[in-house]
Structure 1
Amino acid sequence: MAKRSNRFWFKLHGWFSLPVWIIFCFVCLTGTISVISHELTWLTNPDARATNPQNLTEKPMSELVDIVQQAHPTANITTVMSFESYLVNAVIFSDSDVPFAIAYVNQYTGQIQAINLGMTFTNFMRSLHGWLLFPWHSNYSVGYYIVCFMAIVMLGALVSGLVIYKKFWRAFTQPKLRINQGKKTLLADLHRLAGVWSMWFLMLMSITGLWYLAQAIMWHNHIEIEEHPPLVEVSQLITTTNGAPIRPYTLANALHLAEQTFADFKSTYIMLPEHNRDTYKVYGQGDHIFYDQYAYGVTVNPWSGNIESERSPAAMTTLQTLSHIANPLHYGTIGGLWTKVIWFVFGVFLTGMSITGFLMWGSRTVKAARTELDDSLTMHNSPLVEQEGN
């Protein structure tokens, strides 16, 4: 009975891993690269490096917007983003002859180091990992669902693998890696060791992946996690003598309000008003390391200077909290570069496990096919078969 039960779990483990092996391995590989995509950008693209040889203080985002506006007077600047301290800020704009552009602005020197007219490496890898570059239809993508489904596959492989691997905890104190007993034994040992030592990582990726799946279902069914900022009342618009509205409050004012509202606030994502009734949206990070870089924020009325809405961990609902802690846990940004390195290493382990698992399955499948063929030939050439034939 125990042998039959173990065979069931072994087959279940294989079915959780093998039918979608290529997709699973691809998602693991692209996710591993995505974890260090900013660092790879810094290594390969000198224009993206925020060099600061004179130890200058960081300029506010409002000043960076003014620098880009002066260089491109007819540009419509929509968004400003900041990343790690060693990467430049991104000022996103459109112009009469440019539908989409990203200005790489050094936040220390104020120099525009490059204008990117296409997709960045980080955005490409995150898109490839997140939804396999499948198109988005309004509020859902088939690719996003496929990637999120891998969380169920991963969780199933983890549970069935632990059931198969009896007394798996011994791998922590007595790791076994037999390198002189053939390829099959070595692959099996590598697969088991990587699986046991990566249990926490597999569980974390499964849980965050399941949240992304739940989030996709909510998006698809128009269930809003974050409330939309209110629009400015028409009566609040201030017009000049020639009838053109002019906002009396600038982005610098909005940034000042955000810094006054939250202690240790650092702006990371800003959206400028798209129309006269829109607001300044200033988001950033604060003193909670487990929340993402958009967990704090304010929307500021550009006509009255009032804060229309606020965002902070203390005021979040359960769904909002899950939304803002999922990415740091999934991509390992909670502790900066050091946790990114840890997530990258275990991402390599996870990718390797999918490969070794496939190689083990392939070896067993070929062996089983040969055995079945040999048995068939043996029965065909046996005396009993010859007598029946006569």
Structure 2
Amino acid sequence: MSKAKGRSIWWRIHAWAGLKLSLLLAAILATGTFATISTELDWLATPAMRVAPASTPHASWGQLAMSAQSALPESTIRSIVAPPNSRFAAEAWVEQPDGELMRIWLNPYNARVQGIGPWTNIQVMLCEIHRRLLLPNFIGIRLVSAFSLLLTVLVVTGLVSYRRFWRGFFRWPKRRRGNNRQLLGDVHRLLGLWSLWFVALIAMTGFWYLIESLGADAPAASYTGKAVAQMQGFSQLDAQVAAAKAHNPLLEIREIRLPGRAGAPVAIMGQADAILVRDRANTVWIDPASNRVLDSIRGEDLSVHQRISEMADPLHFGTWGGLSTKLLWFCFGLMLTGLSVAGIIVSSLRLHREACAGRQDSSSGLGRVWLQGMGPWAYPALALLTFVGVLVIGYLVGLAPSAAIEW
């Protein structure tokens, strides 16, 4: 009886935490799931991003830069980004004289401009909603990251309250006549067990983001040397790329960041030996005047603190293995979102049954019962999601400014 009572307490904690914060949790999980394939969604929605694979060599970085500059002569090119695979266009990120950020899509084989568009796209929108619910960074990032603690509580309480949970991995849900709640409960438990590793991974990386937001973020590798001469055009960009490749032959260049201020060098970054790191973990800084290597950093030379920080994004969004791992993360993200929704419905059905047993008005729909079950927690969640929805509509119709980018 003591063990059963203990499991009942754990279950009540699980049900309470999952229901009261269900609205925001489901929204964060859903946006994070689609954020993993947001680049591919943009590719589907933007014809200018698509190219036909070719056997010819790629255009040089210098050709891409000059072509982008000719498309918007008054703009300042901030970054040139390589295509993620053979069917994608390369991108140039440029800043207009009024400060507006734009994207220029370039055919990677012949450097021709395929289109020009705004900075804000599906990827930016999904990532910013998932990352901070479009709130100011110091509030939004901490709020969203704190849900990693909720995920941890839900995992622990769910396992403790599920007796002999290890037997449930192959216990397929059974249809019971007139008992949808029990069927959905079985689905909820099955999804929870098979997504355990994924929930743990998302919770750990989310908790790391919370630690970083509280001031324990690792210092990003940056150039700290003396100022260099200002870059003049792109005629020497290919020579600068060659110098970076000579310095680090294993470097697969994914992005070139051009000087954003006077005295800054050219930053050439990408992937090399180190696994599970962002592109910036392998950077070579080049003097734009002399084409000389000023400094460099390699992923394998980072401190433990920096390496953990660089691993967080590839693990959280599944980008470390290309499209295959992104699709895997997307599938498990759908599973995790479905787990949350199934839990919401199970809780609503339980509340509805209790209302009927208590001879209360049983005519309310499940949505109303769910919101009533959330109690006062429903109001700030609805207000916040309404605020996010208004901002999204504003972005779509061009009423809100483009999202900022950190160079």
Query: TM-score, with normalisation over the residues of structure 1?
Result: 0.85
Taking structure 1 as reference, are residues 365 and 95 closer, same or farther at Cα in structure 2, changes over 3 Å only? closer
- Retained in 2: the 8 A contact 1:229–1:299? yes
**For residues 83 and 16 of structure 2, what CA distance do their matches in structure 1 show?**
40
The alpha-carbon distance between structure 1 residues 4 and 48, as it changes in their structure 2 partners (threshold 3 A), is same
The secondary structure found in structure 2 opposite 1:298 is: strand
- C-alpha displacement at 1:317, in angstroms? 0.9
User: Which runs of 5 or more residues in structure 1 are unaligned?
Assistant: 239-244, 375-390
Distance 1:248 1:272 in 2: 10
Residue 384 of structure 2 aligns with which residue? none
1:366, 1:197 → 2: CA distance? 28
Q: How does 1:1-390 map to 2 (within 5 A)?
A: 1-52=2-53, 54-85=54-85, 86-96=87-97, 99-136=100-137, 140=138, 142-172=139-169, 174-181=170-177, 182-218=179-215, 225-233=219-227, 237=229, 250-373=236-359
Q: Is the 8 A contact 1:289 1:335 kept in 2?
A: no
Which letter does structure 1 place at the counterpart of 2:17?
A: F
Residue aligned with 2:254, SS: strand
2:83–2:108 Cα contact (<8 Å) kept: no
1:135 partner amino acid: P
Counterparts of 1:90 and 1:272 in 2: how far apart (Å)? Answer: 13
Give the match for residue 242 of structure 1: none
- The one-letter code matched in structure 1 to 2:61 is M
Q: Partners in 2 of 1:79 and 1:36 — Cα distance?
A: 22
Farther-moved stretch of structure 1 (300-309 vs 71-80): 300-309
Look up the equivalent residue of 1:60 and give its one-letter code: S
Q: What is the alpha-carbon distance in structure 2 between the residues aligned to residue 171 and residue 71 of structure 1? A: 59
| Matched residue type, 1:58 | H
- Deviations 1:54-109 (Å, cap 9, x if unpaired)? 42222232220011123333321111122411221211113346732110111112
Residue 237 to residue 204, structure 1, CA distance change in 2 (3 Å): closer
Secondary structure of residue in 2 paired with 1:264: coil
Matched to 1:115, the amino acid is I
Q: Relative to structure 1, is the Cα distance of residues 20 and 295 closer, same or farther in structure 2, using a 3 angstrom cutoff?
A: same
Comparing 75-84 and 23-32, the one that deviates more: 75-84
* Identity %, equivalent residues: 26
Report the count of equivalent residues: 357
1:380 is aligned to: none
SS at 2:296's partner residue?
Answer: strand
1-structure distance, mates of 2:105, 2:290:
32
CA contact (8 A) 2:62 2:234 kept: no
Secondary structure in 2 aligned to 1:334? helix
Q: 2-side partners of 1:305 and 1:249: how far apart? A: 11
Decide whether the 8 Å contact of 1:299 with 1:307 is kept in 2: yes
* Structure-1 separation of matches of 2:63 and 2:270: 17
Distance 2:279 2:225 in 1: 24
**Is the 1:249–1:303 contact (alpha carbons within 8 Å) kept by the matching residues of 2?**
no
| Structure 2, unaligned runs of 5 or more | 361-407
Change (3 A) 1:46 1:178: same
Q: Secondary structure at the match of 1:169?
A: helix
**Alignment check: 8 A CA contact 2:62 2:235 kept:** no
Give yes or no for contact 2:265–2:287 (8 Å, CA) kept in 1.
yes
Of structures 1 and 2, the one scoring higher in RCO (CA 8 A, sep 6+) is 2
Q: Is the 8 A contact 1:285 1:296 kept in 2?
A: yes
The offset of 1:261, in angstroms, is 2.5
Q: Is the 8 A contact 2:229 2:287 kept in 1?
A: no
Aligned partner of 1:387 in structure 2 is none
Cα separation, 1, equivalents of 2:62 and 2:210: 37
SS at match of 1:294: helix
Inter-CA distance 347–247: structure 2 relative to 1 (3 Å threshold): closer
Distance 1:340 1:279, change over 3 A: same
Q: 1:211 to 1:249 in 2, by over 3 A?
A: farther
Q: Which SS does the other structure have where 2:319 is aligned?
A: coil
Contact 1:247 1:302 in 2 (8 A): no
Contact kept in structure 2, 1:62 and 1:252, CA below 8 Å: yes
CA distance in 1, matches of 2:334, 2:261: 46
Partners of 1:17 and 1:72 lie apart in 2 by 50
SS at match of 2:280: coil
1:121-173 CA-partner distances (Å, limit 9, x unpaired): 1111111111111134xxx3x1111110111111110111111111111123x
71-80 vs 91-100, which moves further: 91-100
